[in-house]
Amino acid sequence: MEYYVGELSRPYLRTLSLMPENQETPIHFLKTWITPEKYFYRRNHFSYPMLSPHAFFLPITGEVKQTLIFPYCYLKSLSSKSVTMVLECSGNKRSRFSPRVYGEQWEDGAISQGVWKGVALRDLLNMSGLNSAAVEVVFEGYDYGKRTDMEGIFHYARSLPMEKAMHQDTIIAYELNGKSIPYAQGGPFRLIIPQWYAMASVKWLKQITVIDHNFDGPFQTVDYIYYPHKEDDIGKKPVTNIKTDSIIQQPLSYTTLDTGVHNINGIAWTGYGTITDVELSFDEGTTWKRAKLRKDTNQQYAWTFWEYQWNVEEEGEYTIMCRAKDSTGGVQPLEAEWNRKGYGYNAVYTIKVKVE
């Protein structure tokens, strides 16, 4: 029967743009611990870079005792570590801001979870040896292109303060989920920064440079800054750690349900700290009920699954709200902190359903 042939019922990445390629994960279907590569969200600033064999040699230079160039195979022979972690674009959920802001209109799927394996950056920095003048470490990627707001050609580049660069779980990764890092995910070498939004995890690493001042590239000082006001830059601060957040994966908003018992479920995640509670409200936030959590306590950077059995007997329209709390006191606010470039949206997650 020829009519059974072909792809049926397969979820795909949701494309926002192709040049550069930005595709988000259909998060309401992704209920696995590890996001498979084909569903891993993709976020790029520029076209995919052409890589030469040089990409398999990673230099560390600048304010170091000794410039070193690490070949791929040598780096793989060093003592390694693996981190299972949420990677989330700081613009995730941008389309939910009100008033709306310019930029890629992400819904909820600029987030994925993977196991990254690599070498601790501090091991490499210690091999090079830091000069006393060292203030920050700059990570330059192979990707480059134009910006709409200034003249010139720019490589994507970001810096880290020395403390974060020397964090035990800041790694130069070469594997994702047990395989060489896929090209679209930034291989052969990608910087991986747990707890921070993904702009810090620079893809296609070209060079690491220790500098004696604060880096002022446009992806450090123009983008990835919270600007609280539309018209001026007063009160600006850099985007760093992931905010406490959650999502309802089931049911979807604006769906209709039968009366009876329904399993409401989703995931919750945070940057510093770990998720301690997920709560649901069926009365616009007046009272909150605790969901059951399922997490791997050995994986502090990973997301937490949650679920709640909802018994609904009465027909009608319902608003369901969800909020997560973390061990540092982080909690999702009723309203997100608006900012001009639309980063860090983490308001209470709200859906509507009709029971009939």
Footprint of a second copy on this chain (CB under 8 A)? 1-9, 11-19, 21, 23, 26, 29, 38, 48, 51, 53, 55, 100-103, 105, 148-149, 180, 182-184, 187-188, 252-258, 352-354, 356
- Shortest distance (Å) from residue 161 CB to a second copy: 29
Q: CA–CA separation, 41 vs 89, rounded Å? A: 9
Nearer CB in complex with a second copy: 38/289: 38
Cα 91 to chain centroid, rounded? 9
Nearer CB in complex with a second copy: 100/292: 100
Q: CA–CA separation, 244 vs 89, rounded Å? A: 14
Nearer CB in complex with a second copy: 12/74: 12
Residues 13 and 39: beta-carbon distance below 8 Å: yes
Q: CA–CA separation, 352 vs 354, rounded Å? A: 7
- Sign (positive/negative) of CA torsion 242, 345, 246, 110? negative
- Shortest distance (Å) from residue 257 CB to a second copy: 6
Nearer CB in complex with a second copy: 5/153: 5
Nearer CB in complex with a second copy: 149/314: 149
- Shortest distance (Å) from residue 270 CB to a second copy: 27
Could you please report the per-residue DSSP string of 124-137?
HHHHH-B-TT--EE
* Residues contacting 229, CB < 8 A, separation 6+: 235, 340
- Shortest distance (Å) from residue 141 CB to a second copy: 13
Tokens matching residue 188:
């052969």
* Residue for token pair 């964090």: 167
- Shortest distance (Å) from residue 11 CB to a second copy: 4
- Shortest distance (Å) from residue 44 CB to a second copy: 9
Q: Find residue 176's DSSP bridge partners.
A: 116, 179
- Sign (positive/negative) of CA torsion 193, 203, 33, 11? positive
Nearer CB in complex with a second copy: 164/190: 190
* Residue for token pair 């042939």: 5
Nearer CB in complex with a second copy: 24/140: 24
Q: CA–CA separation, 62 vs 39, rounded Å? A: 38
- Shortest distance (Å) from residue 298 CB to a second copy: 31
Q: CA–CA separation, 236 vs 182, rounded Å? A: 35
Nearer CB in complex with a second copy: 50/163: 50
Q: CA–CA separation, 181 vs 192, rounded Å? A: 12
Nearer CB in complex with a second copy: 8/234: 8
Phi, psi torsion values for 92, nearest 5 degrees:
-55, 140
- Shortest distance (Å) from residue 102 CB to a second copy: 5
- Shortest distance (Å) from residue 249 CB to a second copy: 12
Burial class (CB in 10 A: 0-12, 13-18, 19+), 91: buried
| Cis omega (within 30 of 0) for bond into 53 | no
